[in-house]
Structure 1
Amino acid sequence: MPNLYGILTEKYGRIFVVHRLDKETSGVICFAKNEEAHSDLSEKFEEHDVNKVYLALITGHLRNKEGRIDIPLSENPKIPGTMRVDYDAGKRSITEYKVLEEFENYSLVEARPLTGRMHQIRVHFKAIGHPLAIDSVYGNKNEIFLSEIKKKYKAKEDEPEKPLMSRLTLHALKLGFFHFRKKEYIEFEAKLARF
């Protein structure tokens, strides 16, 4: 199965990866078409001079409907490819959030990572007791049913209820930065995928 990089390389020729999304995350991702753009964009990401907005469906309801999670993170030496909270040697990691909507057992939040650590949003919400609704690495569920969201939902008696979602509940909604050639702020948006 071809990946996005392969599809874009076939269409545009040589392209450059600027940043990555977790494999299961949907939404906006950025590639550069030339070395100059790649250098500029990579620097913006390293300096945290990029506005990133994610939508996350998390478990439970947050006491504060807006806030900032400021918890240091480091790579987890016991489980390669994962992160952990590390108050001793972790790098400062900040995620701002705002609750957009609450459901029976879940909340839809807008998350803005001000730093760019791997799995930052996922680990931060787990650390405050509200992991993503579906997260095979940091959570404990693999699917969500409509009956868990709507109070009055009743499944048909003769059919088992089918999952409403069965993938990571994280979506990269917006990505914005100051364009080095156009000399203006530009923003890209990927509408929420159907879960």
Structure 2
Amino acid sequence: MKLEIIYEDDQLIAFNKPSGLLSIPDRFNAEIPNLYRMAQAKYESIIPVHRLDKDTSGIICFAKNEESHKYLSQLFESRSVEKYYTALVNGRMITPSGSIEMPISENMAKRGTMIVHKRGKQAHTDYETIKEWQGYTLLRIRIHTGRTHQIRVHMQYIGHPVVADPIYSNGKGLYISSLKKNFKNADPLGEEKPILNRLALHAAQLRFEGMDGKQVEIDAPLPKDLSASVKQLDKWS
């Protein structure tokens, strides 16, 4: 797999992580491919600063030395980094923009998942509509906190789960047959291939102040599957 570098300077390097690739090694199985180990083949001294869920695509930053790692880690911990995501969600929003400020806690009934619950930690998500179609909305989302599965949990909570989310929705991808009337499947085996068959969530932009005092803005273009989904929604919805 070829890694896509989207930003680099003397202090850090950023990649556009594909969906399905771990950010860092799995603590139970270090042999599973991950972005950190792949990047180390070329940049031996890099240090992870943050991470994304395996199924989320987009920006991942690595520090190039201990000094920049300390600086960047403090920025993330102090919430001094502006983090923006692009998400395709189910349904049309009642209001084109809004804020969700609901605490998130681990789901004690289902380990490894999260829920909105009063015992949880404070979580703040802003959303703004980019485009909408019949049954779907493309959102620009900013998270002010970094709780586990925050966007996915908050979007499910307001009734608009992220498309193809296997945990917080039905996991169903995007198919032409659900958009186009009188769709005819040309596949001889009768199996329709989805336009999008993974979590429709992408870490699109980071903004923060660099060590030299200058503003750093890193952008990750939409992956092909998400771009294709938008084009097909424009065409058929």
TM-score bin, normalised by smaller chain: over 0.9
What residue number does 1:155 align with? 183
2:162 maps to 1:132: yes
Deviations 1:4-46 (A, max 9, x none): 1012111111221111100011111111111111111111111
Q: Could you tell me how far 1:66 is from its partner in structure 2?
A: 0.8
Give the conservation status (yes or no) of the 8 Å contact 1:84–1:123. yes
Deviations 1:60-114 (A, max 9, x none): 0111101101111012223222211112x11110000001111221100001001
The 5 Å alignment of 1:156-171 reads: 156=184, 158-159=186-187, 160=190, 161-171=192-202
2:186 maps to 1:143: no
| TM-score where L is the length of structure 1 | 0.92
2:150 maps to 1:120: yes
What residue number does 2:44 align with? 13
2:99 maps to 1:68: yes
Unpaired segments of 5 or more residues in structure 2?
1-31, 226-237
What residue number does 1:83 align with? 114
Aligned pair count reads 191
- Counterpart-to-counterpart distance in 2, 1:171 and 1:158: 31
Alpha-carbon RMSD across the aligned residues, in angstroms, is: 1.5
Give the conservation status (yes or no) of the 8 Å contact 1:146–1:153. no
Unpaired segments of 5 or more residues in structure 1?
none
Q: Which has the higher contact order (CA 8 A, sep 6+)?
A: 1
Runs in 1 of length 4+ with deviation above 3 angstroms?
157-161
Secondary structure of 1:5's counterpart equals helix
Q: Could you tell me how far 1:146 is from its partner in structure 2?
A: 2.1
| TM-score where L is the length of structure 2 | 0.76
Residue identity in the other structure for 1:169 = A
- Counterpart-to-counterpart distance in 1, 2:111 and 2:68: 32
- Counterpart-to-counterpart distance in 1, 2:63 and 2:110: 32
Alignment match of 1:39 (pick from 70, 81, 100): 70
Q: Could you tell me how far 1:157 is from its partner in structure 2?
A: 5.3
Percent of aligned pairs with the same residue? 45
